[in-house]
Amino acid sequence: MNESRPRYAVVAPLYGESWLGGSAVYAAGVAKQLTASAQVEVLTTCADSYTTWANAMPEGHERVDGVHVRRFPVGSSRDSRGFDRLSQTLLRDPQPSLDLQESWMRAQGPMAEGLLEHLDRFANRYDAVVFVSYLYAITYFGLPIVEDRALLVPLAHDEWPIRFSMWDRFFERPRSFAFASTEERDFLASRFRHARLDGPIAGAGIVSPPDIDAQRFRSAFGLEDRFVLYVGRVDASKGCETLLDDFARHRGESGTDRKLVMVGDVHMALPHPDWLVSTGRVSERMKWDALAAADSVVVPSRYESLSIACLEAWACGKPTLVNARSTPLVGQCRRSGGGLWYSNADEFTAALQILDHGEAAARLGAQGRRYVTEYYSWQKTGASIASCLRRICLGSSSQAS
């Protein structure tokens, strides 16, 4: 190990803009912090979409916000129909073979053979390797290549693929872990009872821009009414279909003129009521403007390890409303005091009626802001992960000697 400047790789399926998703944001936040004390190289793909894995960015080297990034092409785009059929086959099979599970993982993607070959050929170049998100092919097939120096940030939650038996051995491989939340670690401990899940609750970081302007967002989309905001991929798998049903019922029962605004790439058919505004993808600055303009932020997904949308909402002093079936989201709201949760359409409406009272909404938002300010910075997350990596390096050095 280079005693003054260790060399680390950060492996992530997507990397760059925030609209690429939570794992891309997490990888970028960590990589930027690690560059302060180490040589860092991000190994990622040329894709810009987890639904297709189509190569959209140039292969090779670039610098993104001062971080050295190396992109590898994905071998083939995802066959959505074939992948869905294979998923259904595995869902129906109580004990699918390892070959079938690994076929599913290859179909899930991204399969970037060049990245895997790079890890195999140049493993000794890196003192430690960080893998962000357990669920993707480059992690499943890449981590075993460098398991003696691997740190896994799982970003895991209770979803059907994590029940596959192939993960049993996989989660015993990393030298160390770092977790996004207490609930994530507790869930993984219950799922993988024989794995040594040592590692800190590293959390995540939130950095709001200095020039947030709520009116800029309202003017851009012609919004005069109050609105509830959803930020993220507009997808049924994120709970958006149920959110639309719940909001329609809320409108009908409460008589409110409040709108629902959905900010993010759309991956499902949307209705066209006058109370729904779908902006599609927006810039990072415009996303923060939307957060500042909203009454509250809703997170309807039941499959989350940590909600960046909640943290960003609280950074803007906005209360949140989350799906009660997501233990990590409820845990976030409990610890912060910044949000409410709902289990069904009736509770959804009741929660929004509570948030109609300005004093209650302001109190929740203020509590959320204090929580984010105290606990969620990339400096703290980066320092926590850097400490893990130093221990990996020391362990590797002692083994080598």
Per residue in 347-390, pLDDT tens?
Answer: 999 999 999 888 999 999 999 999 999 888 889 999 999 999 99
Domain ranges of the chain: 7-205+377-400, 214-375
3-state secondary structure of 273: coil
Buried/exposed code over 315-340 (b: 16+ C-beta within 10 A; e: otherwise): bbbbbbbbbbbbbbbbbbbeebebbb
CATH number assigned to the domain with residue range 214-375, chosen from the 4 options 3.40.50.2000, 1.20.200.10, 3.30.2000.10, 3.20.20.70:
3.40.50.2000
Residue pair 45/73 in contact by the 8 Å Cβ criterion: yes
Of the candidate CATH numbers 3.30.420.40, 3.40.50.2000, 3.30.70.100, 3.90.920.10, the domain formed by 7-205+377-400 belongs to: 3.40.50.2000
**Are 7-205+377-400 and 214-375 the same fold in CATH?**
yes
Which parts of the chain register pLDDT below 70? Answer: 1-3, 17-20, 396-401
Cβ count within 10 A of residue 52: 16
| Residues 360, 354 contacting (CB under 8 angstroms) | yes
Q: So what's the pLDDT on residue 19?
A: 62
Contact predicate 314/371, CB 8 Å: yes
Q: Is the model's pTM score more than 0.85?
A: no
Each residue's pLDDT tens digit, 242-277? 999 999 999 998 888 899 999 998 999 999 999 999
pLDDT at site 401: 45
What pLDDT was estimated at residue 142?
98
The pLDDT value recorded for residue 18 is 63
Q: Please tell me the predicted confidence (pLDDT) of residue 394.
A: 85
DSSP labels, 57-123: S-SEEEEETTEEEEEE--SS---HHHHHHHHHHHHH-SS--HHHHHHHHHHHS---HHHHHHHHHHG
Find the Cα–Cα–Cα–Cα dihedral 390, 392, 394, 395, rounded to 10°: 160
